[in-house]
Amino acid sequence: MVPRLSRRTFLKAATATTAATYAARAIPVFAAADKGSVAIHTPLTTFAYSDVTLLDGAMKRQFEENHARFLNLDDDRLLKVFRQVAGLPAPGEDMGGWYDLSGFSLERNDFHGFIAGHSFGQYLSALARAYAVTGSEPTRAKINRLVKGYGETLDPKAKFFAGYRLPAYTYDKLSCGLIDAHEFAHDPRAMDIHERLTHAMVAYLPEKALSRQEQRSRPHKDTSFTWDETYTLPENLFLAYQRSGDSFYRDMAKRYLEDDTYFNPLSEGNNVLPFEHAYSHVNALSSAMQAYITLGSEKHLRAAKNGFEMLLKTQSFATGGWGPDESFGEPGRGQLGDSLASTHASFETPCGAYGHFKITRYLLRVTKDSQYGDSMERVLYNTILGAWPIQADGTSFYYSDYATTGKKVWYGQKWPCCSGTFPQLAADYHISTYLRSDDGVYVNLFTPSAVQWNDGSGRYGLKQETKYPFDSKIQIQVSGSQPRDYTLYVRIPYWATPGPVLSVNGTRVSDAVQPGAFASIRRTWKDGDRVELELPMPLRLEPVDANHPNLVALVQGPLVLFAIADSQPSFDHSALLQAKPANHSTGDWLATSADGSNVTMRPFMNIDKESYSTYVLLKS
């Protein structure tokens, strides 16, 4: 069953967006001369995509599935809508779904042709990041063809956007794709096209970022549609400034910071999240982070930190997902618990996870605070790793369903927003797993993977072997062309009590291992050194919100365990906490319900078509 779409849900569903990422990208030598300045060099930086290898596991599988899907998608189909509007020959089949030129009808609740070409830039971005990971020559060639093909459709006035429903929304993604094509695939045309496009877009954008309320007061002249996302533009504009050195982008970015209605109140601690569209306003926090990094604006850093804290404390489910019906609710009113009975559209999964990874990565880079890694892994294991892969025809996974009785479903329209963010995010797994500082390396995510780096004196690396989160042990093998003094930082999740055990070459490191912080080990590392971490992963119960203390999720370490059942089971408190592992390979647990039956408790990533309850009822 496709989640029902009320008009309200539909309007909100229509408006996810994406943006590019991270500032601290390596600038290729050829571009370094015209690099725009940044005010802040963050204490942590990401590794290059190519420095990290994902080894066999769910993250690698998702990356490879997404890379293959978009590498094999026909260029003519991707370019068709742009060629059609430009009056050029437009061979190839229609993409279908949201991507086509026509068919959309608010009255008929028909999303076909909803936002023509909206995700082209995201697919380009995802391919560029995948090229950065793999160095795949067919991928680079495809990026060059797509950029060239898109450039041929772009006229000086960008007439594609005349009468277009959501110009900022689609421009933002094109901007991201062109920046990434330039940065990662060194595409020779991408930044020139980006410049022409951006100068032309000014005519289609309002003079500043508009809140939803402001947009309602000045509706689109051609439709009743007023849900564009001008407030997500600054992140990519700042990145374009950093790539090109052109102050036009920096000044335009400043103009679209949503200060009056969003960042100013957030920076003062006022929770203005309620009733806003969820994903795009989380995504906007990454624009605030770029304002901090590029301009040094402490106000915008405060806004991002506060906004993220409000997201965690007032809007989030146990899974780490947020924003039922793509909207934020008023704290203290039990809206999360109420949503279990009112909607199946509980969390916009690929887009939300993409935005969540992006803001937590920014905040981690700036603060070195492990809570952002804890939050990132919660979203990873309980949401996106359970998303079904995008199908060849564009059929996509969109909402996670936390309803009283839920099910995984396909979204009703092909090539929605979530088909754009999923391949971007899967490439970003590489840059989210390890980070680096002046004095060493941070292990942020526990997953089979390796990282390698050069630092002048030699080549060094780490290799992780683990079945985490289905096993509590993580092994890290150190390699190096010669002994090297540096600090290895390992995230100890806040829930890892009592007594996480960290050891080097079999000797326990007793000090500096505190749950909720990075443990640090400074020493002269030698080739063959072994680091072992064992994390206690106790079961705990998390109520959906304070107004519904009897609706709880069973959580083990970072994993929510979903009750596999056709109707919501109920449990005695102690019986639920006495659940027992049943199958290590599937991560299944068994718990005895209040009526005496055994209920399988299963992680989201191992659920397929079976019905489940995210939250179960505690018998009082």
Binding site residues, Zn ion, CB under 5 A = 16, 348, 351, 417-418
Q: Shortest Cβ distance from residue 326 to Zn ion (Å)? A: 9
3-state secondary structure 369-381: CCHHHHHHHHHHH
Nearer to Zn ion, 348 or 377 (CB): 348
Long-range contacts made by residues 446-451, C-beta under 8 angstroms, separation at least 24? Answer: 446/377, 446/474, 446/491, 446/533, 447/54, 447/57, 447/59, 448/54, 448/55, 448/56, 448/57, 448/60, 449/52, 449/53, 449/54, 449/55, 449/59, 450/52, 450/53, 450/55, 451/47, 451/51, 451/52, 451/53
Nearer to Zn ion, 46 or 424 (CB): 424
Nearer to Zn ion, 252 or 417 (CB): 417
Tell me the residue ranges of DSSP E strands in 295-371.
347-348
Q: Which run of H or E residues covers position 213?
A: helix 212-216
Q: Shortest Cβ distance from residue 186 to Zn ion (Å)? A: 29
3-state secondary structure 394-462: CCCCCEECCCCCECCCCCCCCCCCHHHHHHHHHHHHHHHHEEEECCEEEECCCCCEEEEEECCCCEEEE
Nearer to Zn ion, 16 or 445 (CB): 16
Q: Shortest Cβ distance from residue 122 to Zn ion (Å)? A: 10
Q: Which run of H or E residues covers position 531?
A: strand 530-534
Nearer to Zn ion, 340 or 351 (CB): 351
User: Do 143 and 91 form a contact (C-beta atoms < 8 A)?
Assistant: no
Q: Shortest Cβ distance from residue 117 to Zn ion (Å)? A: 16
Q: Shortest Cβ distance from residue 295 to Zn ion (Å)? A: 29
The token duo for 410 is 């396909």
Nearer to Zn ion, 387 or 496 (CB): 387
- Name 137's Cβ contacts closer than 8 Å, sequence gap at least 6: none
Cβ of 1: how many Cβ atoms within 10 Å?
Answer: 8
Long-range contacts made by residues 542-547, C-beta under 8 angstroms, separation at least 24? Answer: 542/318, 544/317, 544/318, 544/336, 544/337, 544/340, 544/615, 545/334, 545/335, 545/336, 545/337, 546/332, 546/334, 547/332, 547/333, 547/334, 547/337
Nearer to Zn ion, 348 or 401 (CB): 348
Nearer to Zn ion, 337 or 394 (CB): 394
Q: Shortest Cβ distance from residue 471 to Zn ion (Å)? A: 32
Q: Using the structure block, give the residue that is written with the tokens 């009082």.
A: 620
The token duo for 293 is 């990094």
> What letter does residue 482 receive in the DSSP assignment?
S
Q: Shortest Cβ distance from residue 125 to Zn ion (Å)? A: 15
Nearer to Zn ion, 198 or 396 (CB): 396
Residue 264's alpha-carbon distances to 41, 54, 63, in angstroms, are 24, 40, 37
Q: Shortest Cβ distance from residue 112 to Zn ion (Å)? A: 17
Nearer to Zn ion, 389 or 543 (CB): 389
CA 35, CA 163: separation in Å to the nearest integer?
35
CA 122, CA 418: separation in Å to the nearest integer?
10
Q: Using the structure block, give the residue that is written with the tokens 């390396």.
A: 441
Q: Shortest Cβ distance from residue 119 to Zn ion (Å)? A: 10
User: Do 276 and 327 form a contact (C-beta atoms < 8 A)?
Assistant: yes
Q: Shortest Cβ distance from residue 348 to Zn ion (Å)? A: 5
**Closest-CA residue to 57 (of 430, 400, 555):** 430
Q: Shortest Cβ distance from residue 105 to Zn ion (Å)? A: 21
Nearer to Zn ion, 131 or 279 (CB): 279
Q: Shortest Cβ distance from residue 17 to Zn ion (Å)? A: 9
Nearer to Zn ion, 352 or 448 (CB): 352
Q: Shortest Cβ distance from residue 266 to Zn ion (Å)? A: 23
**Closest-CA residue to 544 (of 339, 387, 353, 282):** 339
| N residues, the chain | 620
CA 439, CA 486: separation in Å to the nearest integer?
6
